[in-house]
């Protein structure tokens, strides 16, 4: 008869993700081959002890022997990008997900961490201008969300698109009316754009004068139409400052994932940025969709003319 424990261990060892099982005190009770390949630590290095310094972020933060009502589950920790440290000393950004394990009576009996390498978020292209601390924190959270979305996509998940949005009047308004006027204008633009977002979409600040949208359109044509709709909403925003009505327009660069199987997240975002810059150089108040080829082909991108 096949040993069920050996069968389970063999199945976990065959997974491409790192798998670590923890007991109630946080000690490692299983460490698969992928975990060794990602971190450099063999099972003999970590079994029956807590994770070494540099890997502790992979572990569930707290293991408690709490009982919960039967039939209910304790909440999972959300997926996150963390920077662990390889046995050789270099940093390894990974995407982790920690699941709490409990028995049929609801008592917590341990946890499992699933993790796999993430493309370094430090390499993602940033906005043109400097940003204050609040914008940087918002962008940091958004970078993690983008990385997880891209990673899911490369593993067979749904396609997605990105919209890089620059506000055409921001720099001039900041020079002529000051930072207060510019911030008020950006909030007006943000509110206008939010009216056109799908329930599953997310928007955040990406630079001092820029926004970023994570969209879930099925193809580049639909993404182009969506970008044009958002550009139209920005034009309708009624912004007044000390009695003066200031017209608002945006330059949008759009890029759809999946055009090139070898494309990285950095390259996807770079295509969107170049398309946004092309929109701005063409006079603004428009959306351009990056071609599915290399980012340098932005000059050949298709344009969604403003309505």
- Range picked from 65-79, 98-112, 123-137, 189-203 for highest mean pLDDT: 189-203
pLDDT confidence of 99, banded at 50, 70, 90?
confident
Checking if the pLDDT of 304 tops 70, the result is no
Total residues found in the chain within this entry: 307
The strand pair at 108-117 and 18-22 is best described as: antiparallel
pLDDT confidence of 71, banded at 50, 70, 90?
very low
Do the beta carbons of residue 127 and residue 208 sit within 8 Å?
Answer: yes
Q: Nearest to residue 231, comparing CAs of 186, 184, 189?
A: 189
**Domains, the chain, ordered by start:** 4-117 (3.30.450.20), 123-304 (3.30.70.270)
């Amino acid at each position: 008869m096949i040993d069920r424990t050996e069968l389970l261990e063999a199945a976990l060892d065959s997974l491409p993700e790192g798998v670590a099982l923890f007991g109630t005190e946080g000690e490692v009770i299983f460490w698969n081959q992928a975990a060794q390949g990602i971190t450099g630590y063999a099972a003999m290095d970590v079994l029956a002890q807590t994770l070494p310094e540099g890997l502790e972020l992979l572990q569930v933060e707290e293991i408690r022997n709490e009982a919960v009502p039967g039939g209910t589950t304790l909440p999972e920790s959300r997926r996150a990008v963390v920077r662990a440290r390889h046995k050789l000393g270099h940093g390894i950004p990974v995407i982790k997900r920690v699941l709490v394990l409990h028995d049929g009576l609801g008592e917590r009996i341990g946890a499992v961490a699933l993790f796999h390498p993430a493309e370094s978020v430090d390499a993602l292209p940033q906005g043109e201008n400097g940003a204050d601390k609040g914008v940087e924190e918002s962008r940091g959270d958004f970078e993690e969300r983008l990385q997880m979305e891209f990673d899911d996509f490369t593993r067979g998940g749904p396609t997605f698109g990105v919209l890089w949005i620059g506000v055409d009047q921001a720099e001039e308004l900041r020079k002529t009316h000051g930072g207060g006027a510019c911030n008020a204008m950006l909030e007006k633009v943000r509110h206008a754009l939010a009216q056109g977002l799908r329930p599953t979409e997310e928007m955040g600040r990406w630079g001092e004068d820029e926004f970023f949208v994570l969209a879930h359109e099925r193809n580049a044509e639909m993404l182009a139409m969506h970008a044009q709709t958002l550009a139209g909403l920005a034009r309708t925003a009624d912004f007044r400052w000390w009695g003066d009505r200031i017209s608002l327009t945006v330059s949008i660069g759009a890029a759809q994932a999946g055009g090139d199987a070898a494309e990285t997240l950095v390259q996807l975002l770079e295509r969107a940025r170049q398309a946004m810059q092309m929109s701005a150089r063409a006079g603004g108040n428009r959306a351009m969709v990056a071609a599915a080829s290399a980012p340098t082909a932005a000059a050949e991108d298709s344009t969604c003319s403003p309505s």
